[in-house]
């Protein structure tokens, strides 16, 4: 192809592999930096009561209203942070100033940032986790609005019957935060590009991922609900990993965060690759380099696309993968359906076992007579 000379990886131009992720994933946004500020408090009022036939009215300046708070709420119906691509600044309303006749200023309106389940709120350093919203309905107050100032009626004393002072309202709080979405799925698919992950997702769920015969067909994570033996679990597919992904090569390891919450991993190894064992070790090395316990999660290893292999090559690739993984791999083909149900049942077993353990670890409410 003209203009594409130079180093290549998996038949893809190097310039494409090093392209910024935000150019590759316009529809799915899993990270956003936003500025939030709570409202300032309203100022107190200096006022005196003046009415006919009332000689000593006295101070009647009201207090200022409190500024609005900044809230973050986990809501249903969202699966991306795309809303925060087009608006990055969010400010709560200021409190109204106090008024005469002891009237307190109105409170400033709060502002609520709505995010999908699985969103983490990080400080500006991108490391400090301020909150982790994993369930619909969770709502946290991120910043409090400033208090309203006292009006002069608050300063009246026996020795100062006509105070002429009032407090200004306190300023609101402000900060930059990162919103980072980590999809909540029970199991995740990992592997090199073209390992058959999207085909497996499409064959086992109602999801319709893009499928093609070139690398990096999947540019953003996908989710689907698997139904097997009358039970269900959520399966996540992430873009393929290549050697050096933890250093930003290809699409990088950015999307690995979406399988951090998974209870199990299904590692698909392309049976038509040059060496199944080396392909397996490449992905395992990237999982270990990413950290966060991904390389310690329960893993099911499967050799995919076995319908395209001759019996001799199938035996050779199976042995290579068995030596590398130190376990006997499953043999499957999402295209023909061979071995798919066995893989799903194996995943379901791990998922249900983890669900039981998590339920047992939940604190039980204290019994009271």
Query: What digits encode the pLDDT tens for the residues 138-165?
Result: 999 999 999 999 999 999 998 998 899 9
Residues 144 and 193 in one domain: no
16 — pLDDT class (breaks 50, 70, 90): very low
CB 144 within 8 A of CB 108: no
Q: What is the pLDDT of residues 33-88, one digit of tens each?
A: 999 999 999 999 999 998 888 877 889 999 999 999 999 999 988 878 888 988 99
In a domain, 16, yes or no: no
In a domain, 19, yes or no: no
In a domain, 237, yes or no: yes
Residues 82 and 134 in one domain: yes
Residue keyed to tokens 């339920």: 359
Average of per-residue pLDDT values in the chain: 83
Residues 76 and 224 in one domain: no
- C-alpha closest to that of 195 among 210, 209, 216: 216
Residues 275 and 297 in one domain: yes
Identify the pLDDT of residue 5: 43
Residues 208 and 301 in one domain: yes
Q: Name the domain boundary from 154, 181, 208.
A: 181
In a domain, 18, yes or no: no
The dihedral built from the CA positions of residue 7, 11, 14 and 17, taken in this order, carries a sign that is: negative
Task: Give the three-class secondary structure for 312.
Answer: helix
* Distance separating alpha carbons of residues 59 and 165, to the nearest angstrom: 10
Residue 146: which domain range?
Answer: 29-181
Task: Give the three-class secondary structure for 49.
Answer: coil
How many structural domains does the chain have?
A: 2
Tell me how far CA of residue 92 lies from CA of 96, 172, 177, 349, in angstroms: 13, 9, 15, 47
Q: Which helix (H) or strand (E) holds 197?
A: helix 197-204
Question: How confident is the model over 19-27, as a mean pLDDT?
Answer: 39
DSSP character for 87?
-
15 — pLDDT class (breaks 50, 70, 90): very low
Out of 74-83, 218-227, 355-364, the most confident range is 74-83
Residues 194 and 263 in one domain: yes
Residues 195 and 318 in one domain: yes
Q: What is the pTM assigned to this prediction? A: 0.71
| pLDDT(24) > 50 | no
Q: What is the pLDDT of residues 285-316, one digit of tens each?
A: 888 888 778 888 899 999 998 988 898 999 99
CATH code, domain carrying 175: 2.70.210.12
Q: Name the domain boundary from 130, 150, 181.
A: 181
Residues 145 and 173 in one domain: yes
CB 220 within 8 A of CB 37: no
CATH code, domain carrying 253: 3.40.50.300
Q: What angle do CA 72, 77, 79 make, to 5 degrees?
A: 80
Task: Give the three-class secondary structure for 55.
Answer: coil
Residues 68 and 94 in one domain: yes
Residues 164 and 37 in one domain: yes
Q: Which helix (H) or strand (E) holds 280?
A: helix 276-290
Residues 285 and 199 in one domain: yes
In a domain, 367, yes or no: no
DSSP character for 307?
G
In a domain, 46, yes or no: yes
> Residue 300 CB: number of other CB atoms within 10 A?
21
In a domain, 24, yes or no: no
* Distance separating alpha carbons of residues 355 and 176, to the nearest angstrom: 36
Provide CB contacts within 8 A for 333, sequence distance 6+.
304, 305, 306, 307, 308, 339, 340
In a domain, 48, yes or no: yes
- C-alpha closest to that of 335 among 217, 228, 213: 213
Residues 337 and 288 in one domain: yes
Q: Name the domain boundary from 181, 207, 228.
A: 181
Q: What is the CA radius of gyration of the chain?
A: 29
Q: Which helix (H) or strand (E) holds 355?
A: helix 340-361
């Amino acid at each position: 192809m003209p203009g594409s000379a130079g180093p290549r990886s998996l038949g893809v131009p190097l310039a494409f592999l090093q392209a910024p992720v935000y150019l590759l994933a316009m529809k799915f946004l899993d990270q956003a930096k936003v500025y939030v500020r709570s409202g300032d408090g309203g100022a107190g009022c200096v006022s005196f009561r003046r009415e006919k036939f009332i000689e000593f009215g006295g101070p009647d300046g009201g207090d200022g209203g409190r500024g609005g708070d900044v809230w973050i709420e986990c809501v249903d119906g969202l699966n991306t942070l795309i809303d925060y691509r087009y608006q990055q600044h969010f400010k709560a309303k200021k409190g109204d100033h106090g008024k005469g006749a002891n009237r307190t200023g109105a409170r400033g309106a709060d502002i609520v940032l709505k995010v999908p389940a699985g969103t983490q709120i990080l400080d500006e350093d991108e490391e400090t986790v301020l909150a982790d919203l994993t369930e619909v309905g969770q709502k946290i107050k991120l910043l409090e609005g400033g208090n309203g100032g006292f009006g002069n009626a608050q300063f009246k004393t026996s020795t100062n019957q006509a105070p002429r002072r009032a407090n200004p309202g306190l300023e609101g709080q402000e900060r930059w935060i990162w919103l980072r979405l980590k999809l909540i799925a029970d199991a995740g698919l990992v592997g090199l590009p073209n390992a058959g992950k999207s085909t497996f997702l499409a064959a086992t769920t109602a999801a319709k991922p893009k499928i093609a015969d070139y690398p990096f067909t999947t540019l953003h994570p996908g989710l689907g609900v698997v139904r097997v033996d009358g039970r269900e679990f959520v399966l996540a597919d992430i873009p393929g990993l290549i050697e050096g992904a933890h250093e930003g090569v290809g699409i990088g390891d950015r999307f690995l965060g979406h399988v951090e919450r998974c209870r199990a991993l299904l590692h698909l190894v392309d049976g038509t690759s040059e060496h199944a064992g080396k392909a397996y070790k490449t992905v395992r090395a990237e999982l270990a380099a990413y950290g966060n316990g991904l390389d310690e999660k329960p893993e099911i290893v499967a050799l995919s696309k076995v319908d395209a292999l001759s019996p001799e090559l199938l035996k050779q690739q199976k042995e290579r993968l068995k030596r590398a993984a130190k376990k006997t791999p499953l043999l499957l083909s999402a295209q023909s359906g061979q071995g798919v149900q066995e893989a799903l049942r194996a995943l379901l077993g791990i998922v249900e076992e983890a669900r039981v353990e998590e339920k047992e670890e939940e604190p039980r409410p204290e019994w009271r007579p």
